[in-house]
Amino acid sequence: MMTNEQLSALIDELTIDEKIAMVHGATLFYTTPVERLGIPQFCFSDGPMGVRPEYQSSDWYLKGFTDDYVSYCMSNSALASTFNRSLAEEAGEIIGEETRGRKKDMILGPGINIQRTPICGRNFEYMSEDPYVSGEMAEYYIKGVQKHDVSACVKHYALNNQEEERNIVDTYVSRRALMEIYLPGFRKAVKQGKALGIMGSYNKFEGTYCSHHPYLIDEILRKSWGFDKLMVSDWGSIHDTTEAGNAGIDVDMRVTNDFDDYPFADPLKEAVASGAVSMEALNEKIAHILTTMDALHMFDYKKLAKVNPIFAPLGEDENGKKIKRKHGRYNATSSGKKLLKAAEESIVLLKNEAGLLPLKQKKIKKFVIIGDNANRQHALGGGSAEIKALYEITPLLGIKMLLGGNTEVVYEPGYYNYVIGNAWGHDANGQGGGLNPFHQPTQNEIDILNQRYLASAKKACKDADAVLFIGGLNHDHDVEGADRKSMTLPEDQDEIIEELLNVRPDMMVAMMAGSPVDMHKWADRVKTLLYFSYNGMQGGMALARVLFGKVNPSGKMPYTLPKVLGDAPAHKLGEYPGTDKTVHYNEDIFVGYRYYDAFQVDPLFAFGHGESYTDFTFGDLTLTKTACEKNDIDGDISVTVTVP
């Protein structure tokens, strides 16, 4: 680890131009190296479901390479529903190893903003409505990632709880709710997870952009939590050179290609020259970057030692052995197996009232599967979280792979999904960029197709031994940059489900979504109901294995499923999306289950709900609080129950 003496000596070696080059993007994901000193460029990559495909250096077009296919890990909301720290660590390890394998330095994840409103477009990238679950999962994910000489980047600090007007919305929330709900996850990620990276958010807090915020960044993150590593902006979240230059944010990345005009490029050089930003403040940024690079073993140690012998020890570990940065790898064969286990554990069985599950393979000669999500791949969608998956097993594929040749598996679309591809509008080769190139059918054409699909599905399921509807959302709805307009299922799925239930009251329903959907119209009529988020490359196989009892479901909802959107506290007590670009979180600390519990509002399914195939009772519940020191907010409460 760099000593203070070495750090100051290295900073002293740098010219102002070299310092400026280190604190802003020279391409969309890279800073500039200082080659003469052995300081490399720093490379960021999204995140958080795996390593994003390669982009042109100054245009938002995919390069269309064939060597950037990677493991498609699950979304953060899926990971959180495992409630399993070891799986978070294991997923983090895969992502970390692949980040390094793809020659990147920092993976832009995990996302841990609190799922305040059910309709936030990025809920799928976030863990939970609960700060404890978010923090615990983040801590272990980060520990996993950082085993591979790459950094995690916990995002978006802070209060980025809606996509609607995300670039400008000004958030007002009480200090209590800030401390008890919105910041504890970040605190844990920094203090326990030892995250080496954090990303500022786009929005404002109390009138100031979060990425320049003296209170959020300097007081809390830097002073109170002691974070002394790299803070990067969100892409374009810095708006004022002087404000941000004087705050503890280090690197300015953006979505535009006017690299020299970035606030931390020429404008920062001028601000330092005029004294508007002190050299001390700039040096502090450089110190954060250099110590992060040191922790990741990024330097060219030979070169550095030649500059000044004082740097020679940096290239050796505590036993005097030469430091070699881990090389990582990607698409290891073992990853598929690990991701299968994680996906299995993330599937939530909401109800199994008629005991239809697990299905008995031998008894099912004809299995009818209806719905767009049975047959849709999701990896390359959602915005910056997109992944070029090495493979992605859809539910239909997984079920067919598992059942083999003795069962007739019939697929019926059930309804026409008329938004094709991801809302960010490109295909896997980077073509299309922007506009959806496909023919948009007219409403009349859609109606005709829907009638045909529904009639066909009804007919097919009449004599089936089992019928399963797999619907929900996709990345046209769970997407960065836009919230959903409501919680209602798209493509008239409510009506279709009800029509199908008239023919097959025993139809099982599975909802695939990264956030809550409104199921209140038909939830009582359905006896078998499953819920899961975007589950990665093995998602379809995991579902098949749960359905056929190869594995006992154990996922739990990481957020509440309200009956209707109006029940959600952000909508009932608070403001959403706010007015005049300002939003007040009047629900205060009553976020998620805290609200439903305290205000006695029945959700459709509660936070933490999740059944298994095992019946058991429990009793003798006792709670024990461990003594905790004054002002220690991390005291433990142990829960003991007897399972006879």
Residues that bind ligand BGC in the complex, under the rule CB under 6 A: 46-47, 108, 155, 234-235, 384
Indicate if 250 belongs to the active site: no
Nearer Cβ to ligand BGC, position 121 or 414?
121
- Shortest Å distance, C-beta 194 to ligand BGC: 20
Nearest CA-CA partner of 267 in 244, 287, 247: 244
Strands 348-352 and 230-232, bridge-based pairing: unpaired
345 versus 480: smaller Cβ distance to ligand BGC: 480
Q: How far is the CB of 235 from ligand BGC (least distance, A)?
A: 4
Q: Which helix (H) or strand (E) holds 593?
A: helix 593-598
Q: How far is CA 533 from the centre of its chain?
A: 11
Q: How many CA atoms lie within 13 A of 513 on its CB side?
A: 28
CB of 234 to ligand BGC, least distance (A): 5
Q: Where do runs of H (alpha helix) occur along 504-555?
A: 539-547
- Please state the length of the chain: 644
Q: Residues 105, 130, 149, 234: which is the catalytic one?
A: 234
Query: Judged by CB, which is closer to ligand BGC: 47, or 96?
Result: 47
Q: Which amino acid would we find at residue 75?
A: S
Least separation in angstroms between residue 53's CB and ligand BGC is: 12
Strand order in the sheet with 106-107: 44-45, 106-107, 151-152
Phi, psi of 405 (to 5 degrees): -90, -10
Q: Which tokens belong to 446?
A: 């859609």
Comparing CA positions, the residue from 137, 206, 144 lying closest to residue 177 is 206
Indicate the helix (H) or strand (E) that contains 455: helix 443-461
CB of 407 to ligand BGC, least distance (A): 42
29 HSE (CA, 13 A, CB side): 23
Alpha carbons 314 and 323: distance in angstroms, whole number? 8
Distance CA 78, CA 48 (A): 12
Cβ atoms of 336 and 393 closer than 8 Å: no
Structure tokens at 425: 């509008």
- Name the residue nearer to ligand BGC (CB basis): 387 or 454: 387
Q: 445: which residues sit within 8 A by CB, 6+ positions away?
A: none
Q: How many CB atoms lie within 10 A of CB 603?
A: 21
Q: Which residues are catalytic?
A: 234
